Amino acid sequence: MLDAPARSQSPSGRSSRRSQPPAWLAAAGRGGAGGMIGTVLYYVLLPVARLLQAFRDAFFTCRKNVLLAKSPATCIDGLSAPVSGKPVSEEQQALLQQWLEEGAGGLHTSESPSKTEKVLAISTAEWLEGPELLMTSLSDLNISAQSDGQEQQHVVQTEASPELQEFVETTLANLPAEEREAEGDSALWAAIRTQADPQIIDAAPLSTEVWIEDPAVLAWSPALETDVVSTEGAVWPFQDVGQFQPFPAEIPYHEILWRDWEDLSAQDCIPEEGPEAGSLFEFRVMSYNILAQDLIEQSPHLYMHCHPDILNWSYRLTNLLQEIQHWDPDVLCLQEVQENHYWEQLEPTLMMMGFACIYKRRTGRKTDGCAICYKQSRFQLISTNPVEFFRPGLDILNRDNVGLVLLLQPLLESLGDKAIRPLCVANTHVLYNPRRGDIKLAQMALLLAEIDKTSKMADGNYCPIILCGDLNSVPDSPLYKFIRNGQLYYHGMPAWKVSGQEEFCEHPYQRKLLTPLWPSCLGITDDCQYVTHCQSKTSDRLKYSRDFLLQFHYCDAACERPAELILLEGVTDAKPDRPPHWPKKLTVNNNSDPELFCSRYPGNIQHGLNLTSAYNHFLPQRGRPEITTMPLGVGATVDYIFYSAKPIKNENEESRRMYQDGALKLLGRLSLLSEDILWSANGLPNPFCSSDHLCLLTSFGLEISDF
C-alpha cells in the first residue's frame, strides 16, 4: 500500500541493494517460530506502523501548509495582513480533520518509476487591499486538474501575468538604487501573496521499508530530537507528535513542489547493452546549497518573505535531513554548511545514515564551507584534496571561497575479474559578487587544476569526474562556457559579464579582464594545470623541436621575397633547395593536437577535463528555464552537476561543444522547477524547501570493465 516517493520516482534503481527484503524479516523467516513472529510483525505491526506514520505525515504536511499560508505576512507599504488570527494548533487540527475527511489522501499505491507525477499545489490568492492591478492580476493563477486513471493529479499553473511583471518592474525601477535590494524583494513577495489550500491531495505516503531496512535511519531520528532547540514562536514538529515516537519521520516534503524523476537510462546516448549489459556501477549524486544560518542572519532583508518559523535552524535542519534521506544519494555535495552545525548535527546524523563526511570550511572569518559525504558501503576514500582560493597578495584571489576534491574508489561486492576506475568528486561554492567575474574565473581555474591533478591516473588518462557546486554563474555565461567548452577567450571582457548575473549589477564595474588573468607565481598554467603537474615544459620542447622549426625554412611563406626587398637576380630571388628527406608540408597543418597553438594564445584559458552538465537548464514541457535558486524573487540556475564525457567532433569550432557519455553515463535526474511554480510556493525558502536553493540529484552509471 505504501511506498516511498524516493522509490516511486526511483532514480533508476537497477541496483539490487534497494530492493532487498527487510533483514529482520528474512532472519525471522528462517525458523518456524521465527516465521510466525515475522508474519505477525509483517502483517499486523507493519500496517499499524504505516497508519501511524501516515497520520504523522498528514500532520507535518498540514503544519507546512499552515506555515506556507502564513509566510508572506510581511508588511508592505503599510499593508499588513496577518493571514490568520487562529492559533496554529487549531488550524492544524482543522486541516488534519479536513485531510482525513477527504479520503486521507495519500494512502495510495506507488507509481511506477517511469511515470510522470505532477505538482499538486493549489494556491489561492488572498487579495490585499492595496494595489488593485497587482492583486487582480493574480487571477491568472490557474488551477487545472488532470485525471490519470484512478488518481487525481492536480497541476497548478501559476503565471506571473504581464501586468504583474510590469508592475514589479516599474516598482523596482522607481525605487532609488540603494533601496531596490531592500524593498524590491518585499514588493515582489507581496505581489505573489498566496495561500495554500488546506486540502492536501495525494499526500505522498512513506515507505516503512526505508527505516526498517536501515538501522541508521532509525538511529538518527531520536538523535535529532535531542538536538532540538525550540525557539520562540517556533513549533517543533517532533514535539507535537511525540506520541508517535519512536517511528522516524520522513515527511513527504514536496506535495507542493513536486519534482519529476527523469529516467534517461533508455536514451540514445546510452549505448546498446552488449555483453557487458548491466555492468554499471550505479550511484546517485546530490548537490545542495543548504543556506548557512549565519548568512540568513547577515542578510535578513533577503528573507523577508519568509515566516520566521521556517527560517529557524531546527526546522530547516529536520527538513533538509529528511530531504536527503528521502532521495538517498550515495554522494552528497553540500555548500553553505555552517561549521558548528556540521560538527554538532550534520556530520553525526549523516554518519548514522551511512555517510562518511569530509568538510572544508571557508577561510577567514566565514563560518560556512563545503562538505562531501559518500556512502561508506559504496565508496572508499582514496584521497582528500581541499582547495583554498584565498592567496595572500593576489588581488584576483583575495576572497575566502573554497573547494574540495575527493578521489573515491567505488566498492563492488564481488569484483571478480572486473575492474572499476576511481571517481573524482569535486565540490565548490564560488564567490557570489556578480561584479567580480575575474575572481570567479580564477577560483574555477584553481579548482580545475586540483581536479586535473587528482583525476589524472598513472596511465595519463583522467578517471571519471563529477563536479558539483554553486558556481554563482548562470548557464551560458562565459564562466559556464569555460567549464563546458573547455576554453575561454577572456581578454578585454568586463568582469561583471563573466557570471552572467548582469541583472544584479546595477553599477557594473569597468574592471576588465586582462592578460594574464593570474600571475605565473600562482603556479597554474593557462591550461588550468599545476606547473609541476603539467607537461608544459617538456611538451614545449617536444612541440617546438628543432625539426619542427626548421621546416619553416622551406615553407611557401618563408620562400616568398618580401615586397620591399630589392630584386637581385640569383640572389634575393633564389629559393633554397628543400632537402629530400624534409616533409613537403608543414606538420603543423596535420597536427593532431588542436590545442597546440591555442594554449600559447594570450588572453585564453582552457582545460582538458571534458565536462558537461547533467541538467539542460530548460524545462521543455513548461517552456521555461530551470531554477535552482531565487534571490529576491528572481529565479536563476547557479548550481550544477558537471560530469566528464566524451567530446564529439564538431566541424564548427565556434559552436557549442557536443558530448556523448563515456565511462560515466547519466541515467537520470530529478527535474528542477520553473520560477512560476516556485512563486506559487512563496519562493525559497518555503515551509517545504528549507534552503534558498533546490537540491540537484542525478543518477550515474560507471562502467565496470574487464581486467
Count of other CB atoms within 10 angstroms of residue 522: 19
**What are the helix and strand counts (H, E) for the chain?**
24, 25
Count of other CB atoms within 10 angstroms of residue 426: 27
Q: Which of residues 601-630 bind ligand KL2 (CB under 6 A)?
A: 629
The whole-angstrom separation of Cα 699 and Cα 661 is 13
Helix (H, G, I), strand (E, B) or coil at 353: coil
C-beta of 39 vs 299, nearer to ligand KL2: 299
C-beta of 302 vs 517, nearer to ligand KL2: 302
Closest CA relative to residue 705, chosen from 413, 411, 378, 415: 415
Task: Verify binding: residue 295, ligand KL2, rule CB under 6 A.
Answer: yes
C-beta of 420 vs 672, nearer to ligand KL2: 672
x/- map, 382-421, ligand KL2, by CB under 6 A: ----------------------------------------
Report in angstroms how near the CB of residue 501 gets to ligand KL2 at its nearest. 9
Report in angstroms how near the CB of residue 430 gets to ligand KL2 at its nearest. 8
Identify which range of 295-303, 443-451, 554-562, 576-584 contacts ligand KL2 by CB under 6 A: 295-303
C-beta of 663 vs 695, nearer to ligand KL2: 695
Q: Which of residues 457-476 bind ligand KL2 (CB under 6 A)?
A: 470, 472
Q: Which of residues 297-356 bind ligand KL2 (CB under 6 A)?
A: 299, 302
Report in angstroms how near the CB of residue 182 gets to ligand KL2 at its nearest. 11
Contacts for 499 with CB less than 8 Å, ≥ 6 apart = 434, 437, 440, 471, 472, 473, 474, 477, 478, 479
Report in angstroms how near the CB of residue 400 gets to ligand KL2 at its nearest. 9
In the block, residue with C-alpha cell 516503512: 208
Task: Please count the CA atoms within 13 angstroms of the CA of 231 that sit on its side-chain side.
Answer: 9
Task: Please count the CA atoms within 13 angstroms of the CA of 533 that sit on its side-chain side.
Answer: 20
For 112, the grid coordinates are: 511506477
What is the DSSP track for 470-526?
E-S--TTSHHHHHHHHSEEE-TT-BGGGTT--GGG-SS----B--SSSS-GGG-B-T
534 class by beta-carbon count within 10 Å (0-12 exposed, 13-18 middle, 19+ buried): buried
Task: Verify binding: residue 424, ligand KL2, rule CB under 6 A.
Answer: no
Task: Verify binding: residue 432, ligand KL2, rule CB under 6 A.
Answer: yes
Count of other CB atoms within 10 angstroms of residue 420: 20
Closest CA relative to residue 506, chosen from 194, 178, 60: 178
H or E stretch covering 582 = none
- How many residues bind ligand KL2 (CB under 6 A)? The answer is 12
C-beta of 7 vs 436, nearer to ligand KL2: 436
Helix (H, G, I), strand (E, B) or coil at 380: strand
Helix (H, G, I), strand (E, B) or coil at 429: strand
C-beta of 207 vs 691, nearer to ligand KL2: 691
C-beta of 202 vs 470, nearer to ligand KL2: 470
The whole-angstrom separation of Cα 571 and Cα 568 is 5
Which residue from 91, 183, 202, 692 is in contact with ligand KL2, where contact means CB under 6 A? 692
Task: Verify binding: residue 137, ligand KL2, rule CB under 6 A.
Answer: no
C-beta of 438 vs 470, nearer to ligand KL2: 470
Report in angstroms how near the CB of residue 295 gets to ligand KL2 at its nearest. 5
Which residue from 289, 322, 367, 637 is in contact with ligand KL2, where contact means CB under 6 A? 289
Task: Verify binding: residue 696, ligand KL2, rule CB under 6 A.
Answer: no
Report in angstroms how near the CB of residue 492 gets to ligand KL2 at its nearest. 26
Count of other CB atoms within 10 angstroms of residue 643: 26
Four-CA torsion 372, 462, 484, 598, nearest 10 degrees: 140
Report in angstroms how near the CB of residue 440 gets to ligand KL2 at its nearest. 11
Which residues would be at the binding site for ligand KL2 (CB under 6 A)? 289, 295, 299, 302, 432, 470, 472, 629, 631, 638, 692-693
